[in-house]
C-alpha cells in the first residue's frame, strides 16, 4: 500500500511538471487554503490535502484534493481514510473506483514515499525515493462528493500493485508510478476502457531508486519536517 509520501521541494515543482508533461501547468490552485500550497511536505498523510493534476478537459491545473477517495454515493467523509489506495487488480470492478478509473484519473505529485517493515512487534519505517531527487507521479483516481452543506469536496486515491524487488522486503503492495512519457495518456479527459490502460500500470523498475531506514518520528502524522526523511541505516 501507500500510506504516507513526500513532496519535499515545491519551489521548482511547476517548472519540473511543465518539462515532464510537455505543456504549461497553471500554478494557481483555487482550492488551496492560504499557506497550504507552496511549502515542502515531508509526511503527507491520509485525509490531508495534497496536490494532484486531474484529467479535466482544457488547460491542466495543479489542484489540492483530500487524500482518501469519497464516492459520490458516500453518506459522509467518515470512511474516506479506508480508500486512500485502490488495488489495480480490482479497481475496474470496485463500486468505489470503477467510474473514476474510466473517467476521472489524476497524477499524484510526489518525490518519495514511506513503507513499514514488520520486525516482531515493531514496524520499522523506510523512505523510498528516486536518486537524484525528482518529481514523480503516482497513478491516481479522483472524485467529487457533495456534502450536506452543498459544498463539493474533491478527493483522490493512489493505485497500488504488486511490489518490485526494492519494495518486496518491506511490503506486499506499492504505489504505481506513471512514467513521464505516459503521463499524457493517463490524463486523457476521455471515457476509456481500463483494459486500454493496463500497460501503464505495471510495476516500475527499482533502478535509480533508494530505500533508507528512517526514524519513527515519521509515524506521527503531525510530524511534517525534515527529520522524517533523515536516514538511520541504508537498506
Q: Please give the positions annotated as active site.
A: 2, 115
CA distances from 130 to 153, 210, 219 (A): 32, 6, 21
CA distances from 183 to 22, 30, 66, 95, 212 (A): 10, 23, 21, 25, 28
Find out whether 62 and 109 touch, Cβ atoms under 8 Å.
yes
How many CA atoms are closer than 13 Å to the CA of 185, on its beta-carbon side? 13
Peptide bond into 132 cis (omega under 30): yes
Q: Tell me how far apart the alpha carbons of residues 46 and 2 are, in angstroms, rounded to a whole number.
A: 10
Block residue for cell numbers 519505517 = 125
DSSP 8-class letter at 11:
T
In the chain, count H helices and then E strands: 3, 13
Find out whether 90 and 8 touch, Cβ atoms under 8 Å.
no
Q: Tell me how far apart the alpha carbons of residues 144 and 65 are, in angstroms, rounded to a whole number.
A: 9
Amino acid at each position: 500500500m501507500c500510506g504516507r509520501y513526500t513532496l519535499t521541494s515545491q519551489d521548482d515543482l511547476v517548472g519540473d511538471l511543465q518539462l515532464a508533461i510537455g505543456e504549461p501547468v497553471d500554478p494557481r490552485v483555487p482550492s488551496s487554503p492560504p499557506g497550504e500550497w507552496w511549502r515542502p511536505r515531508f509526511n503527507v498523510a491520509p485525509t490531508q490535502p495534497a496536490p494532484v493534476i486531474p484529467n479535466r478537459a482544457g488547460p491542466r491545473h495543479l489542484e489540492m484534493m483530500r487524500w482518501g477517495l469519497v464516492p459520490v454515493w458516500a453518506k459522509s467523509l467518515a470512511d474516506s481514510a479506508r480508500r486512500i489506495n485502490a488495488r489495480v487488480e480490482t479497481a475496474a470492478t470496485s463500486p468505489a473506483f470503477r467510474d473514476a478509473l474510466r473517467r476521472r484519473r489524476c497524477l499524484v505529485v510526489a518525490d518519495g514515499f514511506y513503507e513499514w517493515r514488520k520486525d516482531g512487534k515493531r514496524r520499522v519505517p523506510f523512505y523510498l525515493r528516486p536518486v537524484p531527487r525528482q518529481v514523480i507521479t503516482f497513478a491516481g483516481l479522483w472524485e467529487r462528493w457533495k456534502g450536506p452543506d452543498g459544498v463539493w469536496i474533491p478527493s483522490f486515491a493512489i493505485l497500488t500493485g504488486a511490489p518490485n524487488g526494492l519494495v518486496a522486503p518491506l511490503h506486499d503492495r506499492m504505489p504505481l508510478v506513471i512514467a513521464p512519457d505516459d503521463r499524457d495518456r493517463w490524463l486523457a479527459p476521455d471515457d476509456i476502457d481500463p483494459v486500454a490502460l493496463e500497460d501503464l500500470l505495471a510495476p516500475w523498475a527499482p533502478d535509480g531508486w533508494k530505500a533508507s531506514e528512517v526514524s519513527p518520528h515519521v509515524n506521527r502524522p503531525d510530524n511534517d519536517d525534515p527529520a522524517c526523511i533523515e536516514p538511520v541505516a541504508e537498506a
